[in-house]
């Protein structure tokens, strides 16, 4: 019986274990798992909208998208901005009182446009008014009211979405398509097509199995923070996009959905808003960064892809009322002078809303940053692929706000994955999209997760979060700062910095090293020398101590004497007030006279002290201060000869915004605005690099022609000039050329009939938008060069031709109408593009003069070269470059060497006299004076303003240091009191899924039951697992306790005494007797 009982117990033990395992495994699918199923096709959408398609048979398809939109002015509708927040009744009274006497005859027809949205119940700082036949006088009367700040036109935003098949082969079970659209010219939703998708790990070795596609949150190690219990809880994050379905399975903490459009729905009919929300806060399959965050959905686009500025303004006000912590805005555009929008972004960040925005999809062209991502208080995000290459589509810096007198700031702030990122589908499943509007929610999700890790939430603000992100970013090798900003997002390092952060000020960039290549491009591409234009570096001051601040006293310049710091002069200008959270610090660097023939490295640093009002009530009237150091390192060379120095005229280049300045190539109908800055470091970057490779030193003139010493330069280069000229400039240029300065002019088209033809017409609003000039301001250029008997025509030509054995393309250029008879003129046969635009007819014009070279007659005078088209040196739409021709022209202007290929060309013709056709006139009624630095309004025609004074720099008084400068300025930016080595992470095992093949039709979720992330992402599972684990453990423990108790309760039996057999006893006695008597025993 005992043996049988023991055997029974041994048999029951695996039964108990099996029952326990079955108990646990049996319940998990019931409470936490969803069966794997193919995604149904989404067909319930508006008939005129193309939503994100779902691939049948798979929950996780590979998709890419391009979303872009444009805006137009709405006729008769105006946004009235007030100086504060007022009730609807008060706003109406203010407008009524302002317009009471505005009408010339009778009452002015106007009414307030009703806005039915969640913000209508609260006070507002603007009103939307419909004014019939509003005159400039009535608008000025409105602006004169003491409570009215600004009157701006209402804008309508229209977005075009289109799917096309991707050229990239899709992985098994994945459907790959693209959203594409026309080129934007205003605020744009920044997703992109799959042409820039790069496979992950294509160069890695020892890959036996294809890995499950990794989600971006795990790639950036968000799971480390999840295991620590940080999941975004308590952080309010807003998504401004196309809405979200109410019962989407990926989201469990949607706090509020609001609709700001004129459609009666809250759902997403396009799929983009769902994807963005999924990257931030999805809790299953394609997991987001912060699944426990409070998700606030703002639907600001209709299913017809339309929005209005007033919708955004109302939604922004509501976000402030709701005390939103993080706001993702995956839209952008070049209009940084859209005052209501820009002002409201400033107000949002001033209320501690951390705004994350996409930098734009207009790369690889430079000078293509989008607003609001280019603002100092906004985190601007660029895109990279999964091999850490800058995505081709990602927009590049610099900012162009500061042109022409200053220099742009470093943007983007940070880059992260934006190619092939996976997020939530419109109804279910996952999709892969590309674009900076994908990279933006990646950072927004990371910011939300990081904010939830900080115990003292008062320390988290737009400045401190940006400080942590850029100080922790990992720099990408071989990439300059206008492409990558401060580098790639590093979530874990940012967590370490935030959790030891103390309020302080910091700088972006944190140092100036003009010798560091390629990161410090373009500064590192050209050394500085005595007599050159000052090098301007625009540094951003981030103030984590408060929303407002100031610079105490003046910045201090301290040169290092052992490192020749006294060989350079430094001037500093800065923001009088740092608001909101940021300001600028413009550092101008020049070479001292004593270093005119010296070559070497010079170093020093600028000390800046920032003060902010103390927020602690106990310190009323007190201030918090923070001192930061800006190291400076430059390379100095002897002043180059005059013939090698080229001066680029930046002062006379105008661009959008604020006015409508059309593109130089009229073939680019979907890219109508000239908005890239026309700077040698933006859309003329390749030309600049070419000139540097040829040994020329290129400097930028950001002031009138009267403000430079012409004896220092060989050639003045004027390209695509739209600005007028002061009479004093015309006089000085003639004198300079007589004294040896040479001039090269690249012009563009100008035809008043074509300008009227290419004006914008909005079919919905019946609003015309007239250009303020042509591709170039030819009448102004003719005024400048008329003294030498030269002029451009109003002809408009295009076509291919060969010049000096080089293939050339003339793109919407003008011709030379007048030229001195002893000059060299080259002519080609071209198509009359003006005739095509005006009458849709085609004609070829023979012998169109396009290139002219002229030696001025004065003794020692300079030379002049004219060419009628700048597109061959402009990166924006260049098809065939003419850098070889620029080299030839510079040889002619700098060294008086006439290129034989031009002087003996069979295309040389007799110079035109200009008597055949009248010269072009300025467009009657144009509004160039509104944006011009030269013109001012006047009765009749505008007239020139008084000539401004030349900029004067106040050089800082040096405070020399007799100590050794640091040898390597590039270190990870360490904020004060932050040492990453001491901020160790807890010993948490990072969650990593298994790597195994992915079958077609299988969900691409991580290898977790039901696609659920570890941690607190499903409350039912989180509550069920501990209960059954506890019960199972108790059953096993009870079993062993019972067995032990039974064993101890049995009576202890004595060991029986064994009796020896009788035979053995007798044998032992016999042996003993025989031994005693001495006899041997017999056997």
Active site (catalytic) residues: 241, 272, 437
Q: Give the Cα separation of 755 and 750 in Å (integer).
A: 8
Q: Give the Cα separation of 894 and 696 in Å (integer).
A: 11
Three-state DSSP state, 449: helix
Burial of residue 1019, with CB atoms counted within 10 A of its CB: 0-12 exposed, 13-18 middle, 19 or more buried = exposed
User: Residue 538: beta bridge partners?
Assistant: 586
Check if the beta carbon of residue 324 is closer than 8 Å to that of residue 252.
Answer: no
Three-state DSSP state, 288: coil
Q: Give the Cα separation of 533 and 647 in Å (integer).
A: 9
- Helix ranges restricted to H, 87-188: 88-99, 136-143
Q: Give the Cα separation of 475 and 465 in Å (integer).
A: 18
User: Residue 955: beta bridge partners?
Assistant: 571
Backbone angles phi, psi at 110, to 5 degrees: -155, 155
| Residue 4 CB partners (closer than 8 Å, separation 6+) | none
Q: For helices 462-472 and 436-453, what crossing angle results, to 10°? A: 110
b (16+ CB within 10 A) / e for 224-240: bbbeeebbbeebbbbbb
b (16+ CB within 10 A) / e for 370-379: bbbbbbbbbb
Check if the beta carbon of residue 479 is closer than 8 Å to that of residue 463.
Answer: no
Reported as type and span, the H/E element at residue 824 is strand 824-832
Q: Nearest-5° angle of CA 249, CA 251, CA 257?
A: 115
Q: Give the Cα separation of 259 and 270 in Å (integer).
A: 15
b (16+ CB within 10 A) / e for 950-981: eeeeeebebeebeeebeeebeebbebeebeee
Strand 505-508 and strand 535-543: the pairing is antiparallel
Q: Give the Cα separation of 315 and 302 in Å (integer).
A: 14
DSSP letter, residue 1021 = H
DSSP letter, residue 654 = -
Q: Give the Cα separation of 812 and 778 in Å (integer).
A: 13
Check if the beta carbon of residue 351 is closer than 8 Å to that of residue 380.
Answer: no
Check if the beta carbon of residue 381 is closer than 8 Å to that of residue 210.
Answer: no
Check if the beta carbon of residue 473 is closer than 8 Å to that of residue 490.
Answer: yes
């Amino acid at each position: 019986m005992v043996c049988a009982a023991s055997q029974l117990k041994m048999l029951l033990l695996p039964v108990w274990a099996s029952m326990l395992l079955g108990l646990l495994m049996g319940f998990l699918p019931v409470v936490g798992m969803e069966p794997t199923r193919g995604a149904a096709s989404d067909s319930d959408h508006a008939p005129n909208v193309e939503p994100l398609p779902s691939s049948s048979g798979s929950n996780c398809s590979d998709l890419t998208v391009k979303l872009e939109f444009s805006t137009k002015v709405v006729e008769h509708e105006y946004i009235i901005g007030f100086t504060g927040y007022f009730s609807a009744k008060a706003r109406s009274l203010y407008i009524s009182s302002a317009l009471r006497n505005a009408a010339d005859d009778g009452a002015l027809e106007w009414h307030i446009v009703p806005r039915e949205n969640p913000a209508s119940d609260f006070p507002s700082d603007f009103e939307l008014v419909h004014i019939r036949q509003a005159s400039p006088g009535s608008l000025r009367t409105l602006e004169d009211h003491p409570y009215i700040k600004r009157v701006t036109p209402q804008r309508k935003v229209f977005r075009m979405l289109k799917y096309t098949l991707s050229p990239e082969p899709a992985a098994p079970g994945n459907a790959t398509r693209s959203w594409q659209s026309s080129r934007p010219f205003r605020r744009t939703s920044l997703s992109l097509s799959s042409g820039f998708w790069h496979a992950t790990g294509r160069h890695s070795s020892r890959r036996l199995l294809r890995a499950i596609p990794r989600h971006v949150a795990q790639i950036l190690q968000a799971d480390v923070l999840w295991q620590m219990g940080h999941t975004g809880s308590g952080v309010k994050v807003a998504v401004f996009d196309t809405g979200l379905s109410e019962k989407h399975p990926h989201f469990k903490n949607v706090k509020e959905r609001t609709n700001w459009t004129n459609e009666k729905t809250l759902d997403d009919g396009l799929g983009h808003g769902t994807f963005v929300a999924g990257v931030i806060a999805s809790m299953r399959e394609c997991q987001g960064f912060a699944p426990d965050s409070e998700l606030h959905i703002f639907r600001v686009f209709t299913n017809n892809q339309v929005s209005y500025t007033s919708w955004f303004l109302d939604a922004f006000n509501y976000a402030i009322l709701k005390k939103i912590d993080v706001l993702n805005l995956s839209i952008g555009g070049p209009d940084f002078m859209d005052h209501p929008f820009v002002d409201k972004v400033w107000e949002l960040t001033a209320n501690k809303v951390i705004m994350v925005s996409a930098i734009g999809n207009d790369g690889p062209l430079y000078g293509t940053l989008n607003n609001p991502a280019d603002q100092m208080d906004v985190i601007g995000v660029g895109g990279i692929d999964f091999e850490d290459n800058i995505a081709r589509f990602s927009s590049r810096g610099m900012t162009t706000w500061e042109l022409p007198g200053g220099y742009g700031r470093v943007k983007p702030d940070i880059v992260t994955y934006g190619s092939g990122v996976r997020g939530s589908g419109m109804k279910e499943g996952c999709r892969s999209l590309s674009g900076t509007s994908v990279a933006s929610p990646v950072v927004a999700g990371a910011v939300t997760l990081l904010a939830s890790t900080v115990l003292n939430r008062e320390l988290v603000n737009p400045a401190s979060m940006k400080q942590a992100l850029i100080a922790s970013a990992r720099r990408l090798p071989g990439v300059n700062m206008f492409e990558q900003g401060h580098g790639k997002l590093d979530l874990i390092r940012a967590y370490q910095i935030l959790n030891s952060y103390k309020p302080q000020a910091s700088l972006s960039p944190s140092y100036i090293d003009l010798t560091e290549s390629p990161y410090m491009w373009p500064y590192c591409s050209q050394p500085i020398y005595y007599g050159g234009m000052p090098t301007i570096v625009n540094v951003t001051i981030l103030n984590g101590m408060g929303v407002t601040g100031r610079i105490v006293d003046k910045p201090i310049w301290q040169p290092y004497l052992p490192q020749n710091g006294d060989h350079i002069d430094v001037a500093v200008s800065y923001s009088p007030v740092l608001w909101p959270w940021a300001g600028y610090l413009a550092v101008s660097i020049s070479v001292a006279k004593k270093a005119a023939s010296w070559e070497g490295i010079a170093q020093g640093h600028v000390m800046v002290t920032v003060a902010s009002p103390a927020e602690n009530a106990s310190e009323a009237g007190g201030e918090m201060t923070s001192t930061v150091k800006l190291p400076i390192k430059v390379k100095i060379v002897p002043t180059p000869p005059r013939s090698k120095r080229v001066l680029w005229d930046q002062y006379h280049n105008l661009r959008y915004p604020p006015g409508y300045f059309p593109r130089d190539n009229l073939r680019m109908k979907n890219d109508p605005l000239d908005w890239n800055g026309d700077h040698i470091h933006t859309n003329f970057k390749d030309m600049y690099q070419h000139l540097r490779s040829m040994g020329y030193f290129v400097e930028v003139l950001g002031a009138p022609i009267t403000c430079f010493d012409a004896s220092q330069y060989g050639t003045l280069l004027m390209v695509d000039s739209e600005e007028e000229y002061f009479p004093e400039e015309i006089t000085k240029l003639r004198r300079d050329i007589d004294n040896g300065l040479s001039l090269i002019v690249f012009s563009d088209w100008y035809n008043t009939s074509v300008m009227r033809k290419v004006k914008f017409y909005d079919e919905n609003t019946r609003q015309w938008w007239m250009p303020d000039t042509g591709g170039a301001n030819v009448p102004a250029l003719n005024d400048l060069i008329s003294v030498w008997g030269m002029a451009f025509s109003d002809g408009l030509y295009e076509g291919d031709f060969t010049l000096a054995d080089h293939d050339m393309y003339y793109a919407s250029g003008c011709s030379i109408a007048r030229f001195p008879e002893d000059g060299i003129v080259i002519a080609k046969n071209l198509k009359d593009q003006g005739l095509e635009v005006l009458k849709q007819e085609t004609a070829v014009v023979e012998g169109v003069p396009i290139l002219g070279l002229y030696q001025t007659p004065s003794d020692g005078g300079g030379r002049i070269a004219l060419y009628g088209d700048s597109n061959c040196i402009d990166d924006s739409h260049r098809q065939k470059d003419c850098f070889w021709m620029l080299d030839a022209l510079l040889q002619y202007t700098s060294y008086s060497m006439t290129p034989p290929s031009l002087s003996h060309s069979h295309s040389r013709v007799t110079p035109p006299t200009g008597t055949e056709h009248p010269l072009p006139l300025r467009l009657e009624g144009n509004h160039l004076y509104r944006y011009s630095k030269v013109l001012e309004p006047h009765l009749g025609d505008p007239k020139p303003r008084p000539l401004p004074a030349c900029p004067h720099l106040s050089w800082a008084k040096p405070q020399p240091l007799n100590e050794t400068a640091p040898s390597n300025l590039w270190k990870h930016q360490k904020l004060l009191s932050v040492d990453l080595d001491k901020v160790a992470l807890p010993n948490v095992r990072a969650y990593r899924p298994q790597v195994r093949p992915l079958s077609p039709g299988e969900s691409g979720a991580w290898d977790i039951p039901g696609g659920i992330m570890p941690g607190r992402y499903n409350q039912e599972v989180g509550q069920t697992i501990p209960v059954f684990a506890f019960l199972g453990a108790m059953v096993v423990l009870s079993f062993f306790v019972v067995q032990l108790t039974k064993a101890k309760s049995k009576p202890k039996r004595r060991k029986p005494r064994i009796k020896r057999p009788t035979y053995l006893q007798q044998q032992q006695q016999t042996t003993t007797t025989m031994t005693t008597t001495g006899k041997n025993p017999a056997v």
